[in-house]
Every structure is written in C-alpha cells, then in structure tokens.
Amino acid sequence: MEEQKKQAKVNLTAMTEFVLLGFSDIPNSQMLLFVIFFFVYLAIVFGNGIIVLIIILDQSLQTPMYFFLGNFSFLEICYVSVTLPRMLKNLWTQRRSISLFACATQMSFVLTLGNVECLLLTAMAYDRYVAICNPLHYPMVMNQKFCVQLVAACWFTGITTEIGQTSQIFSLSFCKSNQINHFFCDIPPMLKLACGNTFMNEMLVFTVAVVFVMVPFLLILGSYSKIISTILKVPSATGRSKAFSTCFSHIIVVVLFFGSAAITYLRPKSKKSSRADKFFSLFYTIVTPMFNPIIYTLRNKDVTMALKKLLP
C-alpha cells in the first residue's frame, strides 16, 4: 500500500517536474566538472563572440562566406547558452529539478538551433560550391539579398518544425519516472519515460532526423565532391592549396556536428544507452561550438588579420 502511494506521488510529480540527472553518476567530480564546463562556456561565448564582432567591424570580411560564418558563430553562442548554464547551476547547487514547461522550452530551443545549424552548414557548403565551381557567377548568385533570405529560411524552417515536434513529444504521458538520465531535455531520454507505445513518436523523430541531418549531410557531401573535383583540375599548386584551405575548416565542423548528431538520433533504439547519448550530445552541443573559433581563426588568414587589427 505504501509502495503504491509512493509510485502515485512519482507519477504526479512527473507531470509537472523532472529531474536532470546529468553527471550525478560521478558524485565525487561535481565541482571539477563545474570548473571545466564553466571555463568551456566562457571560451565558447568569448571565442564565437569575437568572430561575430570582427566580421561586423572589418569591411574586408563583408562577404557571403563571412556573413554565414558570423551567423554560424552567433548560432553557436545561442546553442550552448540553452544547455550549459542550467547544467552549471545543477552542478553547483546539486538541485537538478526542472519544470515541465522549462523542459519543453529547453528541448524546443535545442532542437530548433540544431536544425538551423544543419541547414546553415548546408548553406555554407553551397556558398563554397558556387565560389569554386562557378566563380564567374558567384557575385550575381550569392548577393546580399539571397544570403539574407537563405539564413532567414534556415531559421524559419527550424523553428516551425521543432515547435510541432516538441508539442508532439510533450503531449505524451510520462509515468515511468521523472528522472531524465541526461544533462538537458532531449528526445531519446524523454521517450524512455513515456507511457504506452511510442513507436509513432520514434518514427517521427527518425523522419525529422533524416530530413534535417541525413539530407543536409548528403547535400554537403555532393557539394564537396564537386568542389574537390574542380580543385584537382586547377593547374597551380598554390591555387589548389588556397582552395582546399577555405573548405577544410568547414569540413571539420561538418564531420564533428553531423557525425555526433547522426549517431544520437539515427542509430537503432536497441543500441542506444544513456551514457552514450550523453557522450555524443557533448560533441554537438559543446565540442563543436568550442572548436569553431579555433578552427576558423587558426586556418583562416583573413580572420587572423582582422583579429590582429582589432587587438591593440
């Protein structure tokens, strides 16, 4: 009888409040993790913020490629700000509760920003494709109006899709537990808490993942196959090196982001584990935003020169 009352209480709590377990399985390292993630957060915000600032201030960087890079860096700041501050709060206070509304809001933002990032990386690949494969048409095709429309389309598509998907996930009843074995409200751990048959929900998640992860990745792959084919035809070794250099940074970010996202959302349910989900989620929510400034500043002479002009 007592056990039934306890279970009923859990079920009632699950409807209004969840507990983000995060990294509670390593209790002796909570303060160490707080320090690490705190400095990681500062590095991400500062590094990506610097890229946005120099692109706005330096006239030599007012080109489509850097317009997309500035938007991408701003997106990375937003992305990491949705997950890391709450994780830092949980690590510091050891109070891991999150309301149903806050959980739904966090999921909506994470999924929206993730989808926008997939589409924006695809737009950046298209920009490189036109620049290298059709250089004579580049100024006409990638004009300012088209670039703004492309970025606006990425945001509009990501927002409208994920508001619907989040609503669909949170229309489920959660009765198994109110403990989310993750450091933010993500779809795979939430579905594990849902009552009844979630097959249709899982199929919808898979479909959206294919549309926003697999399709963009294949488009990027197709763009770079054309780009590499064109570069190899360039007679000058210096020209080939310069062309490869402008694309290499983007390729690294694409592999890091799409690789971890695909493993998280597209691998079979039977092969999913909470520990693996958390590990791969760290890549697309934290590692990619952290390495984005390093990748683009160390390998990009234009950004390095602009940074030197900005610094006293």
CATH number at residue 113: 1.20.1070.10
Task: Give the whole-angstrom CA distance, residue 255 versus residue 232.
Answer: 22
pLDDT band of 172, cuts 50, 70, 90: confident
**What are residue 21's phi and psi, to 5 degrees?**
-70, -35
**What are residue 285's phi and psi, to 5 degrees?**
-100, -25
Q: What is the pLDDT of residue 15?
A: 57
Q: What is the pLDDT of residue 7?
A: 47
| Tokens 């990745």, located at residue | 217
Cβ contacts of 155 within 8 Å, gap of 6 or more: 116
Work out how many domains the chain is built from and give that number: 1
Q: What is the pLDDT of residue 269?
A: 62
Sheet holding 17-20, edge to edge: 97-99, 17-20, 179-180
pLDDT band of 77, cuts 50, 70, 90: very high
What's the average model confidence in pLDDT over 92-120? 92
Residue span of the structural domain in which 138 resides:
2-310
Residue-wise pLDDT tens digits, 17-69:
899 988 888 888 899 999 999 999 999 999 999 989 989 988 888 899 899 99
What's the average model confidence in pLDDT over 115-119? 92
Residue in 28, 19, 32, 31 with CA at minimum distance from that of residue 92 = 31
Question: Contact, 105 vs 237, CB < 8 A?
Answer: no
Residue-wise pLDDT tens digits, 248-284:
777 888 888 888 887 777 776 655 566 777 888 888 8
Whether 143 has a pLDDT exceeding 80, the answer reads yes
Mean pLDDT of all residues belonging to the chain: 84
Its sign, for the CA torsion 22, 25, 27, 33, is negative
Whether 13 has a pLDDT exceeding 60, the answer reads no
Q: What is the pLDDT of residue 86?
A: 93
